[in-house]
Chain A
Amino acid sequence: MSVPEIILEVKNLKTSFATDSGEVRAVDGVSFKLPKGQTIGIVGESGSGKSITSLSILRLLASNGKIKEGEVLYKGQDLLKFSEDQMRKLRGNEISMIFQEPMTSLNPVYTVGQQIGEALMLHQNMSKKEAHIRSVELLKLVGIPSPDKRVKNYPFELSGGMRQRVMIAMSLACDPEILIADEPTTALDVTIQAQILELIKELQDRLGMSVVFITHDLGVVAETCDYVAVMYAGQVVEYADIRSLFHYPKLPYTIGLLKSLPRHDIEQDKLEPIKGNVPSPHDMPVGCRFSPRCPAATDLCRAKMPQLETDEKGNQVRCWIYSEEWDGESEVNIYGETRIAKSRGTETVLPD
């Protein structure tokens, strides 16, 4: 198997916001790799920093936000070193983005055709007429019926699902290399959600895009992604290929997340929630950020922050259990599952 080209790599990204109550580190050490043509899911609870991560990649943060540290390598070039002009040529052209709120993400005073056409006129030097023709084609591509009529509609004349299709058409206008989809289905009905996910997957196959999929929904991740980065309190805590993550999650947090999902394939009396709450950004634990809620936490976990450790498959986990320094039992019970600590010399074996 040849090593796939890495189109996007985020290394140790740190983003802060200046607020009235001081600096808030919304993203505090995010790293992941996206191979070309594949999909990575960034999963986390609300406030875990996943949206800020995506906005940081395109440098679209609000004015009080600032990227403090790290690298965002696109085709090997660090986007954080690009000029604003260079970034502008990239946005909507090579890397484009769709957002969570289709109801408010389109400009109410322009027709959908004008809004799709704008990107084409900006990046591909199309004339107004050419842009119009292409807009109709794009609307057809995303499955909007009678696109030649819809192209003249204003956003308020379309339903939420239709608007999200328009957003997708807009983001695909210039054949981007990477599509960042920030919870594109969260605001939609379940049936429409499935349609939009199907559409993104189909277009990805057809156009060969790479996709960054931001979501809090592990079900969506299982359906769409090749890789997953799990985020907790501003950090990536586990990064793995989709099979490893769902079959053999390593991190106690990920195990807990999966255990709290309703499943249809096994008998469940009740769901098991992770106890406690996400720590406040003003009051982060000194050690591992999950340690106050973790059933396996030891003194080491509470005292010292673990680093992301990479295993032989290239998967990463931020947890003391899998390090040489682990001070707990060799067989750790986490939410009813057993994990074998690294320091006892046993390699973890992935069951088939």
Chain B
Amino acid sequence: MTKYIIRRLLQTIPVLIGVTILVFSLMHLVPGDPAQIVAGEGASEQTVENIRERLGLNESIPVQYGNFLGNAVQGDLGSSIRSGRPVMEEIASRFWVTFELAFYSTILAVFLGLIAGIVSAVRHYTLADTSIMIVALFGLSMPNFWFGLLLIQWFAIGNWMPESLEFLKMRPSGWGDSWRQIILPVVTLGTGGAAIIARMTRSSMLEVVGQDYIRTARAKGVSERLVTYRHALKNALIPVVTVVGLEFGGFLGGAVLTETIFAINGMGRLTIDAIRTRDFPVVQGTVLVISVIFVLVNLIVDISYRLLNKRIDLN
């Protein structure tokens, strides 16, 4: 197992190098002179030259990449053009906000998704199954930004809420430390994820339930409940784990719309703001960090996959 983890870790190195090359190229793939873009139209020759000097754009491309990689490995992703603060600092202050949102959303998605998926599979082709799958299809098709807006309309602005539910009422006016303010964004993100997990769990369970070893378990005198939870679920979860991991990774990097709607100062917001203001070092930094996280989440998924299913070999 240790050997497997080490080998798997080594495999991530070429992936990460590829990611840094892509991130580095961002600045050079955008049409026009990056220094001119940063300086804005109508800037003086001298200003553009200063910016070019500051960003190190006078060096040859390989040297620039070498510098970028060398600094990045040491945790130095340059400084924000807009605020002048180190990019790492900017990211660190926003990362935990996004992490918290992604973490709770994943928990909600797994919790709802597994229950819905299992119920659906155990009672397949019944009314319960059909209703759950219709709701899941709805949850899957509903764009996050729209669902988020609806939630705000219903729970934060609307006046129809019964008094017992008043505590849910909140204003989408920024990210405080109150746990209540996390509920609506988590519901927005988590329900979409739950829909995917529910569908995956259902189809995976239905496939497993038809296997010969399930019949063997029944022939042994195992109760239906244990057949479902001990014999079927453990096998059915193997593909679901991948989906959960990818969703968590996706939430970390892709909660841009949800963060924008709920005015959450997370990584998504940071990225969007940086793109809008052409703050290249910050864009590079956020994309790089999100990519690294995604690679790490995938690594964890692979390892847990292996823990669940002993048959999987690295080859």
Seen from chain A, the residues whose Cβ lies within 8 Å of a Cβ on chain B are 58, 60, 88-93, 96-97, 99, 101, 104-110, 118-119, 122-123, 154, 156, 167, 170
Report, nearest first, the 6 A-B pairs whose CB atoms are least far apart.
A92-B220, A92-B221, A91-B221, A104-B212, A107-B213, A97-B219
Given contacts A107-B235, A108-B235, A156-B311, are A90 and B213 in contact (CB under 8 A)? Answer: no
Which of chain A's residues have a CB closer than 8 A to the CB of B141?
Answer: none
Prevailing SS type, chain B contact patch: helix
Given contacts A104-B213, A156-B310, A156-B311, are A92 and B219 in contact (CB under 8 A)? Answer: yes
A90 and B221 form a contact (CB under 8 A)? yes
Q: Separation in Å of the A17 CB from the closest CB of chain B?
A: 15
Which of chain B's residues have a CB closer than 8 A to the CB of A109?
Answer: 234-235, 308-310
Chain B, residues 18-60, CB within 8 Å of chain A (1/0): the string is 0000000000000000000000000000000000000000000
Complex: chain B residue closest to A93, CB-CB = B221
Which of chain B's residues have a CB closer than 8 A to the CB of A110?
Answer: 234
A118 and B222 form a contact (CB under 8 A)? yes
Which of chain B's residues have a CB closer than 8 A to the CB of A89?
Answer: 221
Cβ-neighbour of B223 out of A88, A101, A104 (below 8 A): A88
Q: Separation in Å of the A89 CB from the closest CB of chain B?
A: 7
B221 and A104 form a contact (CB under 8 A)? no
Given contacts A154-B310, A154-B311, A156-B310, are A106 and B221 in contact (CB under 8 A)? Answer: no
Number of interface residues of B (CB under 8 A): 19
B310 and A119 form a contact (CB under 8 A)? no
Report the bound CA distance from A154 to B221 in whole Å.
21
A-B contact pairs, 21 of them (CB 8 A): A58-B219, A60-B218, A88-B222, A88-B223, A90-B221, A91-B218, A91-B219, A92-B219, A92-B222, A96-B220, A99-B212, A99-B219, A104-B211, A104-B212, A107-B231, A107-B235, A118-B217, A119-B221, A122-B222, A167-B216, A170-B220
Complex: chain A residue closest to B219, CB-CB = A97
Given contacts A154-B310, A154-B311, are A107 and B219 in contact (CB under 8 A)? Answer: no
Complex: chain B residue closest to A122, CB-CB = B221
Contacts across chains A and B counted by CB atoms under 8 Å? 67
Instruction: Given contacts A107-B216, A107-B235, list 11 more A-B pairs with CB under 8 A.
Output: A58-B219, A88-B223, A92-B221, A97-B219, A107-B213, A108-B310, A154-B310, A154-B311, A156-B310, A156-B311, A170-B216
Complex: chain A residue closest to B310, CB-CB = A154
B309 and A108 form a contact (CB under 8 A)? yes
Chain B, residues 282-315, CB within 8 Å of chain A (1/0): the string is 0000000000000000000000000011110000
Which of chain A's residues have a CB closer than 8 A to the CB of B231?
Answer: 107
